[in-house]
Amino acid sequence: MQRWKNIIFNLTVALNCMLLFLFLFESHLSIPPWLQVAGRMHPLVLHFPIVLLVGYAVMVLLVPARQTGAGDFQRVAGWLLLLTAFLSVVTAIMGLFLSREPGYDPDTLQWHQWGGILISIYTLLWYVFHHRINTRKPFTAFTAIIAFFIIVITGHLGAGITHGDNFLWAPVTPEKKQRVVSPEDAIVFADMVYPILETKCMTCHNSKKAKGELVMETRELLLKGGKNGKLWDSTEADLGLLLRRIHTPLEQKKHMPPKGKTQLTAEEMEVISAWIRRGADFDLKIASLPADDSLRLLAVKMLREAEIAEYDFEEPDAALVESLNTENRVVSLEALGSPALTVSFFNSRLFQSSQLTELEKVKKQIVTLDLAKMPLREEDIEVISHFENLRRLNLSFTGIRGTNLPALGRLKFLRTISLSGTGVTTPALEALKEIQGLITVYAWQVAASPDEIKAFSSRIPGIRFETGYNGDTTILKLNPPVFLNEEKFFTKVFPLQLKHYIQGTSIRYTTDGSEPDSLLSKTFGKKDSIHEEVLVRARAFKPGWISSDPVEMYFYKTTYTPDTVIYRQPADSSFPDENSQSLIDRIEGGTNYKSGSWVAFRKNRMECVLHFAEPVPASSVTLSSMVDIGKYIMPAEKIEIWGGEDPQQLRMLSRVKPEQPGQYMPFYLKAFTCHFKTTKLSYLKIIVLPVQRLPNWHKGKGEKGWFFIDEVLVN
């Protein structure tokens, strides 16, 4: 046992010597990979000496003296201390190996190394003298306390290296209050560049350390540069020293920040170079850059507003806010936990100026105010100017002329104002210059013309004016007029109803099938009416617009209405005519084949008899039908009209084979008329054969087609 003790003791002494040696020639060390593995075990092994030392301290300090006299006790305690010393030096050497790997903050590392070496030697000496120290308890206690402090400090530094600075205290350290700026208010240098320099450069380039004689803390010192000269030169291709150092490869000595320190991110590099490229102007504002400027886009990304924008005013009284809500005024917190209020007004008829004055009670908290379309008076602007924290103001379509706009100069946080649709003139807009932080003005359809605003805005570079859409030079094609006549079947004269929804259009129409034009065709008037079967074609005309395409509608006259309909073959069960009225009810089927007014045939042919109680002298029969090729709804293949006064002796009056379409076409309505010599009719039999084989170009080729019918008209 004693032999082992000697071996370990000797080994410990040897290792301590080696440690000192390695430390002395640290910069020349080259660690083979397998030793790196040993080095990386440093964070594991370091726990053992600590625990052993604690064990030893507990034994010698807390165990009552009468029990410590025994030889076994002394032996065990001695072993503990020896192992502590041994493992301390092993840990320290491993740590030294690990420290050769890149990426550690050199300052902290140095102190940690010193601490490690100190512990190693200290524990060794303790072991050597432990018999003497143990003669008196205060000696032991004193030695232990010193060891405790060295270990705590070294351990804390080590934790700082692996977990980051201030790892231990971060949860209880109040966060440094960062100035929250919105991209619109941000100054490039102060809000973007300086914070980068502060965190990434100033740990060394500060007035205390001033490495390379460079201090970055103030503008003047930045401009002065260090011993290697000025920091930037926007005329050089690489923009000067600062960026050259940043872009130098990491391995080279000149690279900044040095190896081991936290490096700049790609974005941060871009911010600095973009700022220098634009002339390194300390006062450059984000808002003055074009909306697509790369620096501006970066700014928006980096300065993304905190989720709850920071406001330095107190939260309003909840009951007060509640009481301010009325039928047409909505006052609400911007978000949970935010002190800011958003106020909107609706329903202009209920608006009174007093509703605005009532808001004075929360004048500090209002950040958004929407008064669009409210009948404001110029004096009301004065009231608004009391809302000192206002950010967004919507005054569009309020009818103000802007004589009182200068009052808004007090609103130093106002960023956006909408004046669209108001009578604001150019002189009134002039007052907006006084609003320091103003960024966007919406001025569409105001008294000042877009050109005036354009000329004017070029004089105020900080403010963006949105003048919106102006249709003066746009020439568009009118849409066609619409027929309001719902019924296309008529028995007696009825008014033609045409409408165009755009005011000031004139509708012209023809009844002879020709294209309506703006000169010769009849202008539609309210008194126009239809008295005969006719095709009406109509177009809309308006100055400043291209005339519309024509629309057309066929009006069918129906002189005689049969009294009953008898089907000889039932209609298809999906589209039946349940009470045998559908064909004579004068209700149009419309464009929807499922409307219920359509009767359809596919398997069966249509064969029905129409009966007139009183015989009628008829000369034509019209079948109102639809065609929707994609849905297999085709024109009839064959139509036969039979008629007479005796149901047993009907004569064929007409037989038609309607033309079939030759290709796919969109849906259309189609009427088939069969003319014949005027005949006295009591009975009329109609036979329609649906298409028996769909043509080859159709997706359902060879299948049967559908025949759809909504009305039968007899004249």
Using CB under 8 A, list all residues that contact other proteins.
291-292, 300, 305, 307-309, 327-328, 330, 332-336, 338, 340, 344, 346-347, 349, 372, 394, 396, 416-418, 420-421, 440, 442, 444-445, 466-472, 474, 476-479, 482, 501-503, 545, 548, 664, 666
Instruction: Pick between residue 172 and residue 476 the one whose CB is nearest to other proteins.
Output: 476
Token pair of 583 as six digits:
């064909």
Closest to 641 (Cα-Cα) out of 596, 678, 688, 682: 688
**Shortest reach from residue 158's CB to other proteins, in Å:** 28
Instruction: Pick between residue 184 and residue 607 the one whose CB is nearest to other proteins.
Output: 184
Return the SS3 of 707.
strand
Please give the C-alpha separations between residue 319 and each of 354, 371, 598, in angstroms, as whole numbers. 20, 23, 63
Single-letter amino acid, residue 523: T
* Dist CA 707 CA 637 (whole Å): 9
Please give the C-alpha separations between residue 505 and each of 498, 501, 617, in angstroms, as whole numbers. 12, 8, 44
**Shortest reach from residue 462's CB to other proteins, in Å:** 18
Instruction: Pick between residue 121 and residue 482 the one whose CB is nearest to other proteins.
Output: 482
Instruction: Pick between residue 162 and residue 474 the one whose CB is nearest to other proteins.
Output: 474
**Shortest reach from residue 464's CB to other proteins, in Å:** 11
What is the CB neighbour count within 10 angstroms for residue 44?
10
Instruction: Pick between residue 35 and residue 308 the one whose CB is nearest to other proteins.
Output: 308
CA torsion 644-645-650-655 (nearest 10°) is 20
Return the SS3 of 37.
helix
Instruction: Pick between residue 206 and residue 479 the one whose CB is nearest to other proteins.
Output: 479
Chain centroid, CA 564 distance in Å:
64
| CB distance 669 to 625 below 8 Å | yes
**Shortest reach from residue 542's CB to other proteins, in Å:** 9
| CB distance 19 to 117 below 8 Å | yes
Instruction: Pick between residue 283 and residue 472 the one whose CB is nearest to other proteins.
Output: 472
* Dist CA 638 CA 535 (whole Å): 25
Instruction: Pick between residue 33 and residue 666 the one whose CB is nearest to other proteins.
Output: 666
Instruction: Pick between residue 175 and residue 472 the one whose CB is nearest to other proteins.
Output: 472
**Shortest reach from residue 546's CB to other proteins, in Å:** 10
- Strand locations in 334-453, DSSP E? 341-345, 366-370, 392-394, 416-418, 440-442
**Shortest reach from residue 10's CB to other proteins, in Å:** 50
In degrees and rounded to multiples of 5, residue 141 shows phi and psi of -60, -45
Instruction: Pick between residue 255 and residue 464 the one whose CB is nearest to other proteins.
Output: 464
Burial track 380-389 (b if 16+ CB lie within 10 A, e otherwise): bbebbbbbeb
| CB distance 399 to 376 below 8 Å | yes
**Shortest reach from residue 204's CB to other proteins, in Å:** 33
Rounded to 10°, the helix 71-99/33-40 angle is 130
* Dist CA 118 CA 121 (whole Å): 5
**Shortest reach from residue 472's CB to other proteins, in Å:** 8
**Shortest reach from residue 292's CB to other proteins, in Å:** 4
DSSP string, 484-497: -----EESS-EE--
What is the CB neighbour count within 10 angstroms for residue 34?
8
**Shortest reach from residue 708's CB to other proteins, in Å:** 19
Token pair of 413 as six digits:
């946080």
**Shortest reach from residue 318's CB to other proteins, in Å:** 10
**Shortest reach from residue 171's CB to other proteins, in Å:** 13
Q: Are strands 534-541 and 506-510 parallel, antiparallel or unpaired?
A: antiparallel
Instruction: Pick between residue 142 and residue 697 the one whose CB is nearest to other proteins.
Output: 697
Closest to 123 (Cα-Cα) out of 31, 56, 177: 56
Instruction: Pick between residue 371 and residue 686 the one whose CB is nearest to other proteins.
Output: 371
